[in-house]
């Protein structure tokens, strides 16, 4: 963002990307005007590699079948070493502990059938965030960005227009 001359922006992070986006909001609050966390990981109730893997396997039951070849390709291209390393980073990162340091309007968005970012996890997050709104996309699972893209985009657009200060 610095290299491109981008100032404060609405930053969206999906899944583990939510942890990355939250870290940016903590480390460089000057760059984040609003934060959107879609299917945020890692719920402390399942903050182990096995807990996250179990939730991912459960999620596959609810995902659109058209996601199967996409997910299979992503796994094949990433490889097991990278997946394990990323998973280790995700479960070691204490996003919950960082939330009180985030002082921008924040939207938490999840699919109603998302076992990786369950409602109970987002409810716990809301207690630690100021100016937070929660959106649930009915019928979607964890890959809500791709399986319910139009609904996700509409919710994000509405949030940014109504809650985020002008950049």
Please name each of the domains of the chain with its CATH number.
9-163 (3.40.50.1820)
Instruction: Give 18-73 pLDDT, tens digit per residue.
Output: 999 999 999 999 999 999 999 999 999 999 999 999 999 999 999 999 888 888 89
| Confidence (pLDDT) at 167 | 47
- pTM as predicted: 0.91
What is residue 13's predicted lDDT score, i.e. its pLDDT? 97
Structure tokens at 159: 């949030």
Collapse the DSSP code of 43 into the 3-class scheme (helix H, G, I; strand E, B; otherwise coil) and give the result. Answer: coil
Please provide residue 141's backbone torsions phi and psi, each rounded to the nearest 5 degrees.
Answer: -105, -150
Q: Give the model's pLDDT for residue 71.
A: 84
Q: Is the pLDDT at 164 greater than 60, yes or no?
A: no
Write the CB contacts of 140 (distance below 8 Å, at least 6 apart in sequence): 111, 112, 113, 114, 147, 148, 151
Average pLDDT over residues 145-166: 89
Strands of the chain (E only): list them.
9-14, 32-38, 106-111, 132-137
Asked whether the predicted pLDDT for residue 130 surpasses 60, the reply is yes
Poorest-pLDDT segment among 51-55, 71-75, 139-143, 162-166: 162-166
Q: Of all residues in the chain, what percent carry a pLDDT higher than 90?
A: 83
């Amino acid at each position: 963002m610095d290299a491109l001359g981008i100032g404060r922006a609405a930053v969206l992070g999906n899944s583990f990307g939510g942890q990355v986006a939250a870290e940016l909001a903590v480390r460089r609050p000057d760059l984040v005007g609003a934060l959107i966390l879609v299917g945020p990981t890692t719920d402390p109730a399942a903050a182990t590699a096995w807990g996250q893997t179990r939730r991912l396997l459960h999620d596959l039951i609810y995902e659109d079948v058209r996601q199967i070849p996409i997910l299979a390709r992503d796994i094949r291209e990433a490889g097991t070493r990278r997946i394990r390393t990323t998973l280790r980073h995700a479960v070691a990162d204490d996003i919950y502990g960082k939330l009180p340091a985030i002082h921008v309007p924040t939207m938490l968005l999840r699919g109603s059938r998302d076992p990786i970012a369950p409602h109970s996890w987002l409810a716990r997050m809301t207690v630690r965030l100021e100016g937070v709104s929660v959106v649930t996309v009915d019928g979607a699972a964890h890959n809500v960005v791709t399986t319910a893209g139009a609904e996700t985009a509409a919710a994000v657009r509405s949030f940014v227009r109504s809650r985020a200060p002008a950049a």
